[in-house]
Chains A and B, each alone.
Chain A
Amino acid sequence: NAGVTQTPKFQVLKTGQSMTLQCAQDMNHEYMSWYRQDPGMGLRLIHYSVGAGITDQGEVPNGYNVSRSTTEDFPLRLLSAAPSQTSVYFCASNPGGGAYNEQFFGPGTRLTVL
């Protein structure tokens, strides 16, 4: 299994541009989530999904959209990039089916917005 994969690894955008960060998992996990990590801070939850067709907001959802059309994929869309969205973005998944499960993280996407 490849686990959780993210593309791209690095991205530079100009203010106002849009883009999609890709996340995929091949473990048939129900639960997937997106976090951002800023320097000197922990991870903050952006959006999450408990299954295909179901998404919900996390702690910092503004400026981001998600969809979950398949179990495997959970893309994160930046509609109009802002410098405040410069961060490292991590996607994670867990089997779901209950609260007490290990989360598996992807390697991250480092985004810079100029």
Chain B
Amino acid sequence: GESVGLHLPTLSVQEGDNSIINCAYSNSASDYFIWYKQESGKGPQFIIDIRSNMDKRQGQRVTVLLNKTVKHLSLQIAATQPGDSAVYFCAEMASGTYKYIFGTGTRLKVLA
């Protein structure tokens, strides 16, 4: 079946550095992509989303890049802070399906 995957299961970065978390997707019909942050013992929290008619979208300290040619999605976190430590998931959806498909997650560890 279609799936969303991640290249790196764990990413360690120094506080203040930029973080880049990558995600590959396989369903060419997917046209909506979301990044979630999940802290220990909590439900996923929406970070940022992007539609397939865009290549880049920026939020507060976060940027999502979409490369439809190679089916790749990335989340960039600027000036990473200790509070950014969590597991990050990408998810994809094809419009009209209402079925979100999640990747396995990347754990981000911020080193002081």
The answer to whether A99 and B104 touch across the interface, beta carbons within 8 angstroms, is no
The answer to whether A45 and B43 touch across the interface, beta carbons within 8 angstroms, is no
Against A, the Cβ 8 Å flags (1 = close, 0 = not) of B11-37 are 000000000000000000001101000
The answer to whether A105 and B45 touch across the interface, beta carbons within 8 angstroms, is yes
Instruction: Kindly provide the distance from the CB of A24 to the nearest chain B CB, expressed in whole angstroms.
Output: 14
The answer to whether A102 and B34 touch across the interface, beta carbons within 8 angstroms, is yes
Q: How many residues of A contact B (CB 8 A)?
A: 25
The answer to whether A42 and B49 touch across the interface, beta carbons within 8 angstroms, is no
Chain A residues within an 8 Å CB radius of B1:
59
Interface residues of A in 21-56 (CB under 8 A from B): 31, 33, 35, 40-45, 48, 50
Q: How far is the CA of A48 from the CA of B91 in the complex (A)?
A: 16
The answer to whether A90 and B44 touch across the interface, beta carbons within 8 angstroms, is yes
A75 part of interface (Cβ distance < 8 Å): no
For the side of the interface on B, what is the size category?
20 to 34
Chain B residues within an 8 Å CB radius of A103:
34, 44, 46, 100
The answer to whether A105 and B44 touch across the interface, beta carbons within 8 angstroms, is yes
B93 part of interface (Cβ distance < 8 Å): yes
The answer to whether A102 and B104 touch across the interface, beta carbons within 8 angstroms, is no
Chain B residues within an 8 Å CB radius of A64:
none
Q: How far is the CA of A89 from the CA of B97 in the complex (A)?
A: 21
B58 part of interface (Cβ distance < 8 Å): no
Chain B residues within an 8 Å CB radius of A43:
44, 89, 91, 100, 102
Against A, the Cβ 8 Å flags (1 = close, 0 = not) of B94-112 are 0111111111110000000
Q: Which of A44, A48, A59, A105 contacts B43 (CB 8 A)?
A: A105
Add 11 more A-B contacts to A103-B34, A108-B42 (CB < 8 A).
A33-B98, A41-B105, A42-B89, A43-B89, A43-B102, A44-B102, A58-B99, A59-B1, A99-B31, A103-B100, A106-B43
